[in-house]
Structure 1
Amino acid sequence: MNLSARLPGQWWRRWLARRLPAARRQDLTHRSVFILPTALGIGYLVLCGVLFIFGTNYQNNLILALCFLLISLFNTSLLLSFRNLAGLTVAGGEGHSRHAGDALPFDITLSSERAHYHLELRFPGGVNRYVSKVGPRAVTVQALHPPHRRGRLRPDRLVIASAYPLGLCRAWSRLDLDQSALVWPEPQAGGQLPVPAASEGDHQNRRHRAGVDDFHGLAPWQRGHSLARVAWKQAARSGEWQTKTFVTPEGVPTELALDPALPLEAGLSRLTHQLEQLHRRHQPYALRLGPQRYGPDSSEAHRRRCLDALACYPESP
């Protein structure tokens, strides 16, 4: 029974893949726009049918004229609803990585040579993103994809729809914009941070970064440097302007690795929490995953490299 329930959905996805193949940039045409009456539109048509029955039964030309007027209005709404989507250009942008359990934003750019009004964008299961107007100037919005498990995510087709102008008909399209994003493991607290292995040369070899804690030396003064840091004594003695530089010691790097006593996903979540803690403290750390070692470093680029590596780590068989 479950198999038979899945067959219509599989057939529908295969048909969409043939009719609307994946592409980063797509123009909406008569092949990609679908339209059906809304609940309000169905009630409107029922009313027109009732008026027609009454008009023919009582041979009342006034009621028949009203019925035909309402039907022509519905037909006009049908055409305008289709025109409000046709001609729109939709381009997929960057997918932003997030932790598992968080919604993932994907950039969507909309543009057209003429105006389009009251558009709705959403991924299946996600929240609607409303755009009031799109014109020749491109509009970039973010559509939120529902939370997903760790790994690489290829989102389902984006639904773009509109019931403009009267709400009687709903025109929509389902587009595969060939986007992807990495879902990082969900941070889970637990355990203690590994203690850095100190050595005799740690104090001589410890890393430093620009800061305000310790005096580091003098450097040639350049336009734009603060006058408060000018070494005035040296300037008075030699006539050459120099500026004082300061550094902040980063400490001994901490090395993170998977705990073999934990299940894989729990270990990855623990590592994610630990490296996020170290990053917030601006403390250098290295990450070892099998034969690969990342760092040590404390920059934002290093954090993203480590989180991407955790997201792509192979699942246990």
Structure 2
Amino acid sequence: MAQMTAILRQKLRQRLQHWLAKKFTDNTNFQLNHSTLLVFPTRYGFWFVALIVLLYLLGTNYQNNLILLLGYLLLSVFILSIWFAWRNLAGLTIQVSPPAATYAGQQVQLPLTVQQQGSYQAVQFAFATAKTKVSSSQQASLQWTAIKRGHYRIDTLLVQTEYPLGLIRCWSYLPLQLHYWVYPTPIEPSSTLSTGVDTKQDSSQQNSVELPDQLKAYQAGDSIRRLHWKRLARQPDSPVVKVSEQQPKADPRWLQVPPLQGTALEQCLSEVCYQLLELEAQQLSYGLRTPAGDLPLGQGQQHLQQCLQRLALC
């Protein structure tokens, strides 16, 4: 029986959300009015109505005007609660901004801007994983913890109030259709990556070693100042000249995600995420190889976001 009730409530909620979605033309800026607000008694409101009915029956049965007067007074309070609850949300303008990308285990924030010509009290915003209350404040935010990496969407935001006495619930569903990313938690690898050049060598040692791509065979017309005199002393039959005296730059980095599963995959993604952030901070070029495909070498915030998004979907 409880399962059947939950299914019926879920279907009714979906129908209401679909019906209200047609009333809004913008998915980020909403204005609540009589055509987008729903009003219904709360659980306490139903008990309050039952009390009013009981007082009316007692008053008419025993012809007691005081009991009838009390019943009419409570009925007036109930009717006024309907008006105040509706008026608390009517005319409310809500602007929703997309959440910023974050890492697993950190907080996700959904910024809200609430505006009203008059004052409003005890307005609650909620969806599946978070809720917050706002009273006479223009800036607010929904916060929740990102549990798992991935690409998520927020389809519907619930805005409701039970002001002033908790007898009446006035609410609406806002069709957001927002997306946000949760990247793997950056974890420093146990072994340091090689950058292609041993940075621990002394500069004197680096300057004294000539790499093969810095030398070429001597040809007629080459300046004698560029001759490699030390090698010429050892091999006078094969003179060579220096092409460049600059040390080569570090090779671009290729980071790879092997086809793993479970805890091993999550550990690998976290380490690769850390390495991507480090390479971007060092302004080095980097690429990413995953089972889903490769991302070419590059750098910059846009390239970093593409790599992190690829990790989030692995």
Query: Normalising by the residue count of structure 1, what TM-score does the alignment of the two structures yield?
Result: 0.68
Report the CA distance shift for 1:181/1:291 in structure 2 as closer, same or farther (over 3 A): closer
| 1:298-313 matches, cutoff 5 A | 302=301, 305-312=303-310
Structure 2 residues without counterparts, runs of 5 or longer: 205-248, 289-293
- 1:270 alignment partner in structure 2: 271
Q: Work out whether 1:258 is the aligned partner of 2:256.
A: yes
CA RMSD between the two structures? 3.5
Number of the residue aligned with 1:212: none
Q: After superposition, give the CA deviation of every residue in 1:13-65 in whole Å (9 maximum; x if it has no partner).
A: 43333344552111101121112222222222121121112111111111011
Question: Structure 2 matches for 1:284-299, cutoff 5 A?
Answer: 284-289=283-288, 290-295=294-299
| 2:279/2:286 contact within 8 Å kept | no
1:266 CA displacement: 5.0
Look up the SS of the partner of 1:198 in the other structure. coil
Decide whether aligned partners of structure 1 residues 312 and 173 sit closer, same or farther in structure 2, where only a CA change above 3 A counts.
farther
Structure ranking higher in strand proportion: 1
After superposition, the Cα gap between the structure-2 partners of 1:151 and 1:314, relative to the gap in structure 1 and judged at 3 Å, is closer
Distance 1:262 1:202 in 2: 39
Once the two structures are overlaid, the 10-residue window that deviates more, 266-275 or 160-169, is: 266-275
Deviation of residue 90 (structure 1)? 0.5
What is the deviation of 1:181? 2.2
Q: Equivalent residue for 1:47?
A: 51
- 1:243-267 Cα deviation digits (max 9, x unpaired): xxxxxxxx96883512325346554
What is the 5 A alignment of 1:232-247? none
Gaps (5+ residues) in structure 1? 205-250, 296-300
Residue identity in the other structure for 1:273: Y
The one-letter amino acid of 2:253's match is: E
Would the alpha carbon gap of residues 140 and 29 (structure 1) be closer, same or farther in structure 2, given more than 3 Å must change? same
Which residue does the alignment assign to 1:227?
A: none
**What TM-score, normalized to structure 2?**
0.69
**Distance verdict in 2 for CA 1:45–1:260, change over 3 Å:** same
Q: What letter corresponds to residue 172 of structure 1 in structure 2? A: W
Overall identity of the aligned pairs, in %: 27
CA distance in 1 between partners of 2:282 and 2:92 (Å): 48
**Distance in 2 between residues matched to 1:133 and 1:153, nearest whole Å:** 30
Relative distance call for 1:154 and 1:202 in structure 2 (3 A) is: farther
Given that 1:119 and 1:133 are in contact with CA atoms closer than 8 Å, whether structure 2 keeps it comes out as no
Report Cα offsets for 1:263-311 as digits up to 9, x if no partner: 46554333113345x379x65554312242233xxxxx74x75245322
